[in-house]
Every structure is written in structure tokens, then in C-alpha cells.
Amino acid sequence: MGDGSQRAWSQHCFREKGLSQFARIWLWGFLKSTARDYSDIFLSAEQGYDLFMIVLSLFLLLAGVVAEPASELLFREDWAVSPPEIPLGQNHVANEDLLVELHGPGLHGIKKSHHDWIENDPYYVWSGACPGNWLVSLRHKSKSLDLSQGAKVRWRSKQAGFRQLRIALKLTDGTWLVSSLSAGESKDWEIQEFELDQARWRKLNISRVTEEDWVEKPGLESVAEVGFTDLMPGGLSAACSRLDWIEVHGRWAD
Ligand SMILES: [Ca+2]
């Protein structure tokens, strides 16, 4: 591997491992100057280059061990291609690895919706018929999630009538949280992406599905369930939330 391709490869590794650009530049310069200094004193140019590559390889190995692995898609749910039905149930979950749970006083009104007569109408969750607050959560059958660094939630949604669809998390210690980040009213379906590092969180009363006090920097290293709610009852098509699909990106917890 030549110097150019070696550098490109090592820079690729650095980038994938999430080290800052400043750290990459500084470390690269430090390693090169160190190798040059010592090669001038003790070694020939070729020996100096070999020493430099050895030091660099050791550093990359260490960086790979120490650095956090990149975020990956942990799961996606798109809901079953099947006739509309109330309430939403496990039979509407398309991803075999996931379990769905419904929460709140309005849970019996959560609908798996679809309209055959509307062109390109997706198969989605609809809150318009919920008589009270509601929340839908998804849990992996065997794994918990680490959403503490670089995690994100993506979804396709369409809200109406003052609704703000928010991310909800259940930690493995039983704590429920609801996010400051949300998706509001739109005329058409929209894809939204939320970086969880940018979110603030309030504690969530899961029996009432209402927000409580702010929780400053909660640890998201061990998350059991990921959900969504607008913290409101439904008001038919004029006041509702709709979710076509959801993706969770992060890392699996140990
Ligand atoms: Ca769908």
C-alpha cells in the first residue's frame, strides 16, 4: 500500500470512528514529525518510514479499540400491508423482531389505517379516533438499545390540527421519557430525522401519557422501547397524528 492510499485508508478509518477533524490533523502531524525526528538521529530514511508505519498501525489499532463504533440501523417498522383495523395490534407489526405495545387512556382508538381509494396511501398508524392520550411503543424481542451517542430516529409522518409527534423512550430501568424534538402539522407526508444528541427530555407519565418535569441529560445507554405520541387525544382527520414508518439508528446495548 503506497503512502497516498495508506493515508486515504487511515483517514477513512478515522472518519468512520468519529474522531474530530482537529484531532486527526494534529495526530497525523505529530506522528509524521516524531518519525522524522527519530529517523534523522538513529535510522536511515527507509527505517524511519518503517518505524512511522508501525507507530501509525499501532495507533489505528488502539483507536479502533477505544473509539465508539458508528451508529447503525437497529430496526425499522413499516406496518403490515393489510386492511385497516382498530385497535392496532401485534398482527400489524411487519418486523418479526419487534413487539408493539399500546399505552394511555386512548389506546383502544389507535388505528392501523389505509385507504384503497387514495393513490399511494401508505399503511400507517392513525391517532384520530383515540378518545384520550395515546402512545405506541416498539420493543426488540431480545435486545436493548444504546442510544447514548450519535443515535437518531427517522420516520415518515403527517400531522394535523396542532399535533406535534414526539419520540418516547422507555429505559431498561423503567423510566419513560418524551423528547423536545417533534414533527408538526404538514400538508403531505414528510420524512423527518431526529438526532437524539440534540434532544432534551421530559419524564413521561406512561399511564396518563402526559409530560412531567425536565430530566437533564438522562443516560440513554440502555433503552428497552422506542415509541411515539403527540400527548393529545385524537380529533379525527382535523386533529391527528399519522406515522407511516419508523427507523431507530444507534448501537445494541451490551
Ligand atoms: Ca407504512
CB 108 within 8 A of CB 132: no
Query: For residue 151, what are the contacts with CB-CB under 8 A and spacing of at least 6?
Result: 71, 145, 195, 196, 197, 220, 248, 249, 250, 251
Where b means 16+ CB within 10 Å and e means fewer, 224-254 reads bbbbbbbbbbbbeeebbbbbbbbbbbbbebe
Per-residue model confidence (pLDDT) at position 84: 98
Residue count (the chain)? 254
Per-residue model confidence (pLDDT) at position 38: 56
Domain ranges of the chain: 3-66, 72-252
Q: How far apart are CA 30 and CA 228, in angstroms?
A: 47
88 C-alpha to center of ligand 1: Å? Answer: 13
Confidence of residue 118 (pLDDT cuts 50, 70, 90): very high
On the question of pLDDT at 74 being above 60, the answer is yes
Taking residues 130-137, report their average pLDDT.
99
| Residues around ligand 1, an ion, CB closer than 5 A | 78-79, 122-123, 244-245
Q: How far apart are CA 175 and CA 137, in angstroms?
A: 14
Q: State which amino acid sits at residue 50.
A: D
Q: How far apart are CA 4 and CA 154, in angstroms?
A: 37
Q: How far apart are CA 192 and CA 91, in angstroms?
A: 26
191 C-alpha to center of ligand 1: Å? Answer: 12
112 C-alpha to center of ligand 1: Å? Answer: 9
77 C-alpha to center of ligand 1: Å? Answer: 8
157 C-alpha to center of ligand 1: Å? Answer: 10
- Could you tell me the pTM of the whole model? 0.76
236 C-alpha to center of ligand 1: Å? Answer: 19
Confidence of residue 53 (pLDDT cuts 50, 70, 90): confident
Q: What does the pLDDT look like over 149-165, one tens digit per residue?
A: 999 999 999 999 999 99
CB 141 within 8 A of CB 99: yes
223 C-alpha to center of ligand 1: Å? Answer: 24
Phi and psi dihedrals of 249, rounded to 5? -115, 135
DSSP E strands, 61-123? 72-77, 98-103, 111-113
Question: CATH number of 72-252: 3.40.50.300, 1.10.3720.10, 2.60.120.430, 3.40.50.970?
Answer: 2.60.120.430
On the question of pLDDT at 94 being above 70, the answer is yes
Return mean pLDDT, the chain. 87
